[in-house]
Amino acid sequence: MITATELAKIIDAEVVGDGSLELHGVAKIEEAKSDEVAFVANRNYFKFLDTTDAGAVIVGEIPDVARSVCLVTQEPYIGFLKALRLFHPEQTRPSPGIHSTVTISPQARVSENVSIGPLCVIEEDAEIGEGTIIRAQCYIGNGAKIGNDCLIYSHVTIREQCRIGNHVILQDGVVIGSDGFGFAPQDQGYLKVPQVGIVVIEDDVEIGANTTVDRATLGETRIRKGVKLDNLIQIAHNVEIGENTVIAAQTGIAGSTKLGKGIMLGGQVAINGHINISDGVMAAARSGISKDPGEKTIVGGTPAREIGTWRRIEASLSRLPELIRRVKALEKKIDK
């Protein structure tokens, strides 16, 4: 339990209403109860403020109508995240220790204060850093290195020689260092191209469930500091992703492409191989990018176009059947 005034201090907000209101949890504004706090970061949701049962609402401005206590802050979404962490603290870390079913090579180097769950395999010359947690049934390949304070969820595979930095989170089913898709055509089929490079994941990266990052043919596939990858993403061989880039689910990036810093890609974006993408590019969901849009450009569609142009094209397509009918009618008049 926390009062509205106490919560306001934590999230750097001003209280408008009864600051003594007791709050016991967080919820969506459509579903919140009288002892819960919700938030509104988008004016489209202001319509709920005069119908919600929420005891308090975190907002970016004082609304015209509100049934709830308002906690007014410049960054309502960040304020809500702080409230969410307050009411739902992170899971308790497991005690350090190695489960009896774990297989560890005598040549592996495992630091103290690590936690390794059931049925994991740690191969020869692998390294596990201080405070790292590895959940059940993970595979750490020959010579792979994992830094300090990482969280590796179940069924993760980190293949041979790949390197993981500090404070990295790998969600369930992530595969780091699978072979890149390289085959040379021959008369009798295809000859597999050896994939002898590695993957390097830098510090503070989080990778979502069942995402794959292929090892380089030669050299490195590199995910730089602060990158956040969603579920079911395919990163091909020799790709480089710049710092603090965010990529949504089901996106695919073809081989040897380099992404700059601070890029944001929506779901199911496809990016061609062997191109460079400038810093700050944003792409709408299902965009197809075949060349660099230019720094901080926002694009959409396939092939990707500047977002305003793409929206006009999409709006025009819905009028195309009527336009065709009008053209045919005009052609008949001209013929007569």
Residues catalogued as catalytic? 237
- What residues have CB less than 8 Å from 77, skipping those under 6 apart? 39, 41
Question: E strand or H helix at 242, and its extent?
Answer: none
Tokens of residue 123, six digits: 């191969």
Q: Which of 240, 214, 244 is nearest to 229 (CA)?
A: 244
DSSP letters for 53-113: --SEEEESS--SS-SSEEEE-S-HHHHHHHHHHHHSPPPPPPPSEE-TT-EE-TT-EE-TT
d(CA 161, CA 277): 28
Cross-strand partners of 265 = 247, 283
d(CA 326, CA 47): 41
Q: How many helices (H) and strands (E) would you count in the chain?
A: 4, 40
- What residues have CB less than 8 Å from 43, skipping those under 6 apart? none
- Provide the 10 A C-beta neighbour count for residue 312: 12
Helix (H, G, I), strand (E, B) or coil at 333: helix
**In angstroms, how far is CA 244 from the centroid of its own chain?**
10
CB 104 within 8 A of CB 86: no
Residue 37 CB-half CA count within 13 A: 34
